[in-house]
Each structure stands twice: as structure tokens, then as C-alpha cells.
């Protein structure tokens, strides 16, 4: 057996989700080591272009989350360097990270998403007019953040103003979305195959950052407690959303199933968390994939992208070891 190809694990980064990315990266490194791969941890910083040009890796496992790592920026750099990497490409990453643009794509593909509008700091003086008859409660989010950072629920105009100001601390615009009463579910997709749907019962008002990453702040039901037809329906809708944005590798699609029986797509995470508490590994385990199996499935779809390049790495079927054998 020849030595395995060397894998650089991108982690940390410059976003507000840095600490979560470090946890994801550590877990990925441990899984790759368990399977006998040679790895190099790469903590993303401002000198990442120089660092990537100096380290000797055959491909990059992207365990970054949030701005610069999940929004197409690092993907563009990796393409310039002709380094194969895991996950979605530049366009899909950018579209998914920008919740407003993602919703516009969903609507073009007749995919249901809660009613919404965008607001910027310059519009705060006319917020009451902008909100109009939209109604309350409303969910307010930074347009381009992950891990539910800066997300809050507003029950009146005063609360709406405060929620928008919190969102502006993280982004240049906020997304105001109709609050949907019902079950929150997430669907894991790996290499074009839905793994299943998980139902979230948050102990907080919403499934926020604290509930996501603090043990005991949420309960989970796998599979989600839906009828057989509705369960299949959310899997189908999630896969359609994944395809509409042109996603690749592993994604997590967050949805609401309303008390009236309607399904709504909230957003797509193109680099879902891979920590011990993260949802994608839970769904993979339910589907029969160990954590290390999941990491290899993701690794199997690492690709060289960019103009004139159609090369996929590693070769073979998803799940096949990235090692040359003689």
C-alpha cells in the first residue's frame, strides 16, 4: 500500500463561526487519521493564499464555516490554485450564503419559502412603512451569516427595530421573514442523496446559536415525526433546493413544516457543521454511516474546478479510499 495522498483541512477562519469551525476541523482531522490519511491542519488567516501555495497537499477538505469560507471566497482562491476541494463551488456557495439571493432562486424554481423582505440601515427611518401589513411575529436575520448568528424574533415594531440593529452588527442588510408556526426539520444531503430528515425541538424561542452548540438546549427526533408522504415530500423539496443552487458534496437544508401542512425552505448550508453536536453527523448515523464514513463520502467528491477543468478527485465511487494501491 502506497502512502495516502495528503489532505489539507481548512479550519478556523475569519468569521464569527471560527470556534465552531475549529471544532469541526478537529473532528475531521481525527476521522481522517483514523482511516490512515496524512493530514495538515490549515488555520485560515489573511495570508491563506501564501500558505496554500507553500503547503504540499493533494486536496483540501473545507471545514470552514461562515464568511470567507462558505461564501465562495476561499473556493475562488482554491480554483485559482487548481486545488481540488470538498463542497460546493463558487457560485453555489455565494448564492446559498446570501439568504436573499437563495430565496430568489427558490422562487424561480417554484420552491416554497416564507414571505420576506430585505432592509438596510438607510431604510430604518421608514421601517414602519416598509413593514406595512407584513404582520408579526417576524424573524430577523443577517442576510449572509450562518449558525443562526444574529437571528431573533420580533413581536412588534419596537422589537423589529432592535432585531434589525442586531443583524446590522453582523451584516450590511437584514432579512425579515414571516414566522412560520410548525415543526422545524433539517435534511442532510451527501453527494446528491438525501440521508433523511431530523426534527428539532429547541428549548429556546428559536433554534439559535446557543441551542445549536450547547448540549441540552434542544431535543431531536430522527426521523422527523411526519407522515410517510410528508416525510418523502420534505426530502424531495430539499433535494430540489440543493439542485436549484447547484450545490455539491454535503449540504444541510433547513425547513419548516407548518401546522397547516405546508412546507417552507428556510436556507441551505453548503458547509454544515461537523462537530460532535452537529446535525449532519446525526443524520448520517441514522442512515448507517459512521462519522468516518461520512467524512470519506464527502472526501470522495472533492473536485478540481475552474475553466477548462473537469477532473474529479479522488477517482472511483463515493466512499472509496483516497489511497493508491499496488
Number of independent structural domains in the chain: 2
110 is catalytic: no
Q: Is residue 193 part of a domain?
A: yes
Please identify, among 159, 178, 197, the residue that sits at the C-terminal boundary of a domain.
178
Q: Do 214 and 190 lie in a common domain?
A: yes
Tens-digit pLDDT profile for residues 194-209:
999 999 987 666 555 5
Judging by beta carbons within 10 Å of its beta carbon (0-12, 13-18, 19+), is residue 240 exposed, middle or buried?
Answer: middle
135 is catalytic: no
Q: Catalytic one among 273, 296, 301, 306?
A: 273
Q: Catalytic one among 15, 17, 196, 249?
A: 17
Between CA 129 and CA 233 the distance in angstroms is 37
Between CA 168 and CA 192 the distance in angstroms is 35
Q: Catalytic one among 71, 184, 208, 254?
A: 254
**252: which 3 cell numbers?**
444541510
| pLDDT tens digits in sequence order for the chain, 326 residues long | 234 489 999 999 998 889 999 999 999 999 999 999 999 999 999 999 999 999 999 999 999 999 999 999 999 999 999 999 999 999 999 999 999 999 999 999 999 999 999 999 999 999 999 999 999 999 999 998 765 788 999 999 999 999 999 999 999 999 999 999 999 999 999 999 999 999 998 766 655 555 555 566 688 999 999 999 999 999 999 999 999 999 999 999 999 999 888 999 999 999 999 998 899 999 999 999 999 999 999 999 887 775 444 454 443 333 333 433 33
Neighbouring residues of 48: CB distance < 8 A, sequence distance ≥ 6: 42, 74, 77
Structural domain of 172: 116-178
Size of the chain, expressed as the number of residues it contains = 326
**117: which 3 cell numbers?**
423582505
Give the dihedral sign, CA 260/111/90/4: positive
Find out whether 148 and 186 touch, Cβ atoms under 8 Å. Answer: no
CATH code, 201: 3.30.470.20
Q: Do 171 and 204 lie in a common domain?
A: no
Find out whether 165 and 119 touch, Cβ atoms under 8 Å. Answer: no
Q: Is residue 223 part of a domain?
A: yes
Q: Do 121 and 160 lie in a common domain?
A: yes
**182: which 3 cell numbers?**
410548525
Find out whether 116 and 178 touch, Cβ atoms under 8 Å. Answer: yes
Q: Do 127 and 251 lie in a common domain?
A: no
Q: Do 108 and 186 lie in a common domain?
A: yes
Q: Catalytic one among 18, 67, 183, 252?
A: 252
Q: Chain centroid to CA 224: how far?
A: 19
Tens-digit pLDDT profile for residues 279-292:
999 999 999 999 99
Between CA 278 and CA 94 the distance in angstroms is 22
Amino acid at each position: 500500500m502506497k502512502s495516502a495522498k495528503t489532505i489539507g483541512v481548512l479550519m478556523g477562519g475569519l468569521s464569527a463561526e471560527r470556534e465552531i469551525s475549529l471544532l469541526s476541523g478537529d473532528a475531521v482531522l481525527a476521522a481522517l487519521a483514523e482511516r490512515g490519511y496524512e493530514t495538515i491542519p490549515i488555520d485560515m488567516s489573511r495570508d491563506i493564499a501564501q500558505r496554500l501555495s507553500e503547503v504540499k497537499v493533494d486536496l483540501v477538505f473545507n471545514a470552514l464555516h461562515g464568511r470567507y469560507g462558505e461564501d465562495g471566497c476561499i473556493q475562488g482562491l482554491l480554483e485559482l490554485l487548481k486545488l481540488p476541494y470538498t463542497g460546493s463551488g463558487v457560485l453555489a456557495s455565494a448564492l446559498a450564503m446570501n439568504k436573499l439571493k437563495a430565496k430568489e432562486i427558490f422562487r424561480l424554481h417554484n420552491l416554497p419559502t416564507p414571505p420576506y423582505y430585505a432592509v438596510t440601515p438607510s431604510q430604518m427611518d421608514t421601517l414602519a412603512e416598509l413593514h406595512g401589513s407584513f404582520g408579526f411575529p417576524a424573524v430577523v436575520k443577517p442576510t449572509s451569516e450562518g449558525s443562526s448568528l444574529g437571528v431573533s424574533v420580533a413581536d412588534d415594531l419596537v422589537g423589529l427595530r432592535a432585531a434589525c440593529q442586531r443583524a446590522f452588527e453582523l451584516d450590511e442588510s437584514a432579512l425579515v421573514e414571516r414566522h412560520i408556526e410548525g415543526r422545524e426539520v433539517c435534511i442532510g444531503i451527501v453527494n446528491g442523496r438525501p440521508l433523511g430528515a431530523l426534527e428539532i425541538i429547541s428549548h429556546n424561542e428559536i433554534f439559535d446559536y446557543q441551542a445549536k452548540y450547547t448540549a441540552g438546549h434542544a431535543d431531536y427526533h430522527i426521523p422527523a415525526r411526519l407522515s410517510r408522504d410528508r416525510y418523502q415530500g420534505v426530502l424531495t423539496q430539499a433535494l430540489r433546493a440543493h439542485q436549484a443552487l447547484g450545490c455539491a458534496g454535503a449540504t444541510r437544508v433547513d425547513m419548516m413544516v407548518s401546522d397547516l401542512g405546508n412546507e417552507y425552505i428556510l436556507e441551505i448550508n453548503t458547509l454544515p457543521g461537523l462537530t460532535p453536536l452537529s446535525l449532519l453527523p446525526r443524520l448520517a448515523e441514522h442512515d448507517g454511516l459512521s462519522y468516518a464514513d461520512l467524512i470519506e463520502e464527502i472526501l470522495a467528491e472533492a473536485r478540481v474546478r475552474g475553466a477548462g477543468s473537469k477532473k474529479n478527485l479522488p477517482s472511483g465511487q463515493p466512499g472509496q479510499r483516497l489511497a493508491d494501491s499496488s
